[in-house]
Amino acid sequence: MKIADRVQQIPPSGIRKFFEIAEEMDDVISLGVGEPDFTAPWAAREAAIESLKDGKTSYTANRGMRELREAIAKRVSVQYDFTYDPDTEVLVTAGASEALDVAFRALVDPGDVVAIAQPSYISYVPGVTFAGGEPLPVPTHEEDDFKLTREVLEANGVADADLLVLCYPNNPTGAIMTESELAEVAAFVREHDLTVLSDEIYADLTYGEEHTSIATFEGLRERTVVFNGFSKAYAMTGLRLGYALAPAKTIGAMNRVHQYSMLSAPTTAQYAALEALESCDGDVIEMRDQYNRRRQFVLSRFEEMGIDCFEAKGAFYVFPECPWEDTDAFAEQLLQEQSVALVPGHVFGESGTGHLRVSYATGLDDLREAMARIEAFLD
Amino acid sequence: MSTRDELLALLLENARYSTEDLARQMGADEAEVTAAIEELEASGLIRGYQAVVDWDRADRERIRALVELNVTLDRETGYDDIADRLVKFPPVKSLRLVSGDYDFALEVEGDSLREVSKFISEKVAPVPEITQTVTHYIMETYKDRGFEMGDGHDDGRLSFSP
């Protein structure tokens, strides 16, 4: 059977080889996991159970349950000075990943150039390719704290691109961008009439600095799609519930793709998400506090080992420099000899080369042991 | 969160964290953490450290009872006087003055049903101000001091995920 060219041109994920090795081994401590080790708050789980007991097993509106869209719009209005109309400017999707995919398909024409700030989440490049667009990597580096600057945008030809994809707090680096730093990017975007796809799935997980959305800058709301969801902050990865916020015309276009592919996000998950927004903020704060302590633990251990590690202030990753030149060899040997799994940075784009993604979404006992094993491996 | 509250939160989570682990998680010096713990202990804010045990998994039988106590007070005897007398007994694991239908909630622990019964009838009930005792033996513990009993959950996550 013939496989479509656009699928064939996407290489297998760079983490597959490691995954296959890890699967064969016992006693692996994985710091390669991009999801919380906590379980979804009980109130959210109970709401999902209750919805099933009540027989809420039908499709919802394509855009998502109205109560949920209202709750999302209400939540966003607390964070921003403006609100999104729950009827026309909010789309509930099966995870933020689906929202991104739908956006690429709705907004990208064949040949359109989509600039992607890298290192980045591994699905952006394939998502653009599947939509027929041309991904344009925009490398960020440790010297700039993995932040996007006007110079970087200019130097990489982003002025001629059609769209710009951002992810702050960032997976895999843990970098965040402050209000003044984002203002510079916002000005560039306005000047060059770009559309922004802003993945803010880690917005609730920042340590020390409040998250700012690029959509809040003057003239940006009209040209930005914001992506968020419940997977990371509410530890609801398996429930697959995300959303997009954008002007009505854009959401309308995205919904056209969404309604012919997903129809509507899972109903059970929508009930869980509604409850999460209504009553689970305390759980989020508690999880964030724990992540922050683990973050400090991991950073201090790397410092002690003499491994240079950028001070991540968001998400649940740190992105240390790899002590060996060959990152793949380091990751593979560490996995085989010490049973510690982490992800080579180049998987997230070329500018991640020479780094490792270390997730601290793992209990302290395992983190302590994993760090001891890394230290032993280095000796 | 203040340093003291952060330290308390961590010790409540796991009192066996080493000062080194505590210091790393808090981004503080080990010496600072040691001093803060000493201060918390000296001030009496921290009264002690204990394991939370799931006795159902032990070979040894452990009997626990919750006892409701009603008392009458007079000019010379207050709640504190009665409490002072009761807390000295080793089988008394907790004693609280509560609102509602009875005055004190007493938790007693012993190696056998007979030992616990004997303690309540011979040591607690005879206290002159105690007018009534209602004993509830604990048949099953599902959660204790924030810890759920049972098997817990294995990490079912994939070793690598995006």
Q: What confidence score (pLDDT) does residue A81 get?
A: 84
Q: Is the pLDDT confidence value at B77 over 80? A: yes
User: Could you give the C-alpha distances from A39 to A142, A235, B152, in angstroms and in order?
Assistant: 33, 6, 12
**Do residue A289 and residue B9 have CB atoms under 8 angstroms apart?**
yes
Return residues 178-237 of A near B (CB < 8 Å).
none
Smallest Cβ–Cβ distance between A293 and the set B25, B157, B162 belongs to: B25
pLDDT at B154 over 80: no
Distance from CA of B162 to the nearest CA of A (A): 5
pLDDT at A86: 98
Question: A88: how many CB neighbours lie within 10 A of its CB?
Answer: 16
Q: How many angstroms separate the CA atoms of A127 and A104, rounded?
A: 7
Cis status of the peptide bond prior to A169, with omega within 30 of 0:
yes
pLDDT at A182: 97
Q: Give the bridge partners for A113, in sequence order.
A: A134
Distance from CA of A157 to the nearest CA of B (A): 28
Read off the pLDDT band of B153 (50, 70, 90): low
Per-residue pLDDT at B152: 67
Interface contact A238, partner B, CB < 8 A: no
Contact A341 B26 (CB under 8 A): no
Structure-token pair, residue A53: 């007991």
- Return the ∠ at Cα A87 (arms to A84 and A93), rounded to 5°: 85
Nearest Cα residue to A121 out of A206, A45, A34: A34
Q: Cα angle at A132 between A128 and A135, to 5 degrees?
A: 40
pLDDT band at B155 (very low <50, low <70, confident <90, very high): confident
Q: In chain A, which residues have their Cβ closer than 8 Å to the Cβ of B9?
A: 289
Inter-chain residue contact A34 with B155, CB threshold 8 Å: no
ipTM here: 0.85
Mutate to test the interface with A, among B5, B11, B160, B161 (most CBs of A within 10 A): B160
pLDDT confidence of residue A124: 97
Which pLDDT value is given to residue B75?
92
Residue indicated by tokens 């251990």: A301
Treating both helix axes as pointing N-terminal to C-terminal, what angle do A327-338 and A364-378 enclose, rounded to 10 degrees?
Answer: 110
Number of other CB atoms surrounding residue A323 within 10 Å = 15
Residue of A nearest to B16 (CA): A365
- Kindly give the parts of chain A with pLDDT less than 70: none
- Among B47, B63, B76, B83, which residue's Cα sits nearest to residue B141? B63
How far is A80 from A67, CA to CA, in rounded Å?
Answer: 20
Contacts of B1 in chain A (CB under 8 A): 289
- Contact state of B159 with A18 under an 8 Å Cβ cutoff: yes
Average pLDDT, chain A: 96
How far apart CA A205 and CA A228 sit, in angstroms, is: 12
Q: Which two tokens stand for residue A127?
A: 């998502």
Are B148 and B142 in contact by the 8 Å Cβ rule? The answer is yes
Cis peptide before A119 (omega within 30 of 0): yes
User: Of the candidates B141, B144, B105, which has an alpha carbon nearest to the alpha carbon of residue B124?
Assistant: B105
What b/e sequence results for B74-106 when a residue is b if at least 16 CB atoms lie within 10 Å of its CB, and e otherwise? eeeeeeeebbeebeeeebbeebeeeeeebbbeb
Please determine, for residue B64, whether its predicted confidence score (pLDDT) is greater than 80: yes
Contacts of A124 in chain B (CB under 8 A): none
pLDDT in the model for residue B2: 82
Give the Cα separation of A208 and B26 in Å (integer). Answer: 13
The model's pLDDT over B20-36, given as tens digits with 9 standing for 90+, comes to 999 999 999 999 999 99
Average pLDDT for residues B88-99, to the nearest whole number?
97
